[in-house]
Amino acid sequence: MPVLLDLRGANSSDVQIGISPISELQACLHALAEPDHHLEHRAWLVRTDEALSPDLRARLTRFAPLWARRRCRLLLPLSSPLDTDVDAEIERLSRLPERDFVEAAAYTIQGGDFDPRQAVSRPREFIAACEARSFSRGELARSLVDDPEEFRAVLMRTLTDCVGEFFAEEWERIHDRLREEADQTRSRLRGLPLAELISSVSPAAQPVQGGRAVRFDKLQNLTVALRGNSTLLVPTIHGRPHLIIRGEAGFPVVVHYPVAWHSQPASIDEMQQRLTILSDPARLALCRHLVNEAITTSDLARRMNMTRPQVSRHLARLRAAGVLTSERSGRYVYHRVDVQKLMQMGVELLRAIVR
């Protein structure tokens, strides 16, 4: 059940890459609510959870369905620009029309196969659907329906208190790493076709349909058309390992993709994924060409007797494995294997095995 981004009619100019503190805050809240999913941040999670004030802890428990498996669209960028501060992003919530706010919150609170417009048109049925999921979801749904503006005010106050109690300090710590990732991805946009650029942010993605779409391997069946809409690529540290893709009407498409700290060793699963990518015979053959010189996609296609889309798909997988660099020179983009990264994989594999 894949997620498919339909790129037909989309332009690279519609894609923005940047950081979003409210998205990272939501990732932190999800990790605090589901710590078993985020063992690599266990020390930070334990320390932060123990320091929470009782009042904030109670409100986080109340609102927990908003950052459960589905994640709330309200706590991802509501509009561009990216790279703003968390107070500005929280303030955007106050300007969102009430109906849009209610439907976005309702979709996440119910968390199943549900038309969020029912929260406005048929509120009793919406509440019953949430109660069927859990008592806490039912209570949260009732408070949303009974007084949407009070619900919004308490949520915004809760987010602001999170910033004061723990997130401002954590954002200061991770901000530079996220900005570096965004800058690197932005530089790739200048030299890569749109399908390759989007697929480069995750090993779970690959260009398909001759570069007219990108397929994400997720337990979700969704097709999102990018034509006529802006697309925001936003890196996350605390969201790792989850990849979140959202494409609701009226909001920008968001790809919230996980990245690691520089010093953080790869997991055994990540190493297995990279080795699987490199073990493909066609990719190994490409690497033999790319290790000695920088080559264009067209030239590789000619040498390998492949089509350009076939070569592009293989290059995207090599880039996902972290061993390919691409640079533009004039009208052409040249690819080359990063020998140092390839050698480092041996060290990382040993670390993953003995850890």
Question: Per-residue confidence at 1, pLDDT binned at 50, 70, 90?
Answer: low
Query: Based on C-alpha coordinates, what's the Rg of the chain?
Result: 22
118 vs 1: which has the higher pLDDT: 118
Residue range 10-32: average pLDDT? 94
Question: Per-residue confidence at 321, pLDDT binned at 50, 70, 90?
Answer: confident
Determine phi and psi for 24, rounding to 5 degrees: -70, -35
Q: Are residues 177 and 300 in the same domain?
A: no
pLDDT at 341 over 90: no
Within-domain flag for 263: no
- Residues 6, 171: contact at Cβ < 8 Å? no
273 vs 134: which has the higher pLDDT: 134
Within-domain flag for 23: yes
pLDDT at 94: 93
Rounded to 5°, angle at Cα 64 from 60 and 69: 145
Q: Are residues 33 and 105 in the same domain?
A: yes
Relative orientation angle of helices 308-320 and 297-304, to the nearest 10 degrees: 110
Among 209, 224, 258, give the residue marking a domain's end: 258
pLDDT at 37: 79
Secondary element (H or E) of residue 24: helix 21-33
d(CA 145, CA 130): 12
Within-domain flag for 142: yes
pLDDT, one tens digit per residue, over 107-133 is: 999 987 778 888 889 999 999 999 998
Q: Are residues 274 and 321 in the same domain?
A: yes
| DSSP per-residue string spanning 52-111 | --HHHHHHHHHHGGGGSSS--GGGS-SSS--S--HHHHHHHHHHS-HHHHHHHHHHHHH-
pLDDT, one tens digit per residue, over 231-276 is: 999 999 999 888 999 998 889 999 999 987 665 566 677 788 888 8
In 3-state terms, the chain is what percent helix, strand and coil (to 5)? 60, 15, 30
d(CA 53, CA 73): 26
Q: Are residues 186 and 156 in the same domain?
A: yes
Q: Could you give the percent of the chain with pLDDT greater than 70? A: 97
Residues comprising the chain, all counted: 355
pLDDT, one tens digit per residue, over 143-168 is: 999 999 999 999 999 999 999 999 99
Residue range 201-218: average pLDDT? 88
- Residues 84, 150: contact at Cβ < 8 Å? no
Among 229, 258, 287, give the residue marking a domain's end: 258
pLDDT at 263: 52
pLDDT at 189 over 80: no
Task: Name the pTM for this structure.
Answer: 0.78
337: β partners: 324
pLDDT at 175 over 90: yes
d(CA 53, CA 280): 52
pLDDT, one tens digit per residue, over 38-58 is: 888 888 999 999 999 999 999
Determine phi and psi for 52, rounding to 5 degrees: -65, 140
Q: What is the mean pLDDT of the chain?
A: 89
pLDDT at 5: 94
Domains contained in the chain, number: 2
| CB-based contacts of 353, cutoff 8 Å, min separation 6 | 268
Query: Which residues span the domain enclosing 303?
Result: 268-354
Q: Are residues 127 and 145 in the same domain?
A: yes
- The least confident of 141-155, 173-187, 331-345 is 331-345
Secondary element (H or E) of residue 273: helix 268-279
pLDDT at 264: 58
Q: Are residues 124 and 61 in the same domain?
A: yes
pLDDT at 18: 96
d(CA 129, CA 324): 48
SS3 19: coil
Q: Are residues 208 and 91 in the same domain?
A: yes
Distances in whole angstroms, Cα of residue 12 to Cα of each of 91, 165, 323 = 29, 39, 24
Domain of 312, CATH number, reads 1.10.10.10
165 by Cβ neighbours in 10 Å (0-12 / 13-18 / 19+) ranks as middle
- Residues 217, 317: contact at Cβ < 8 Å? no
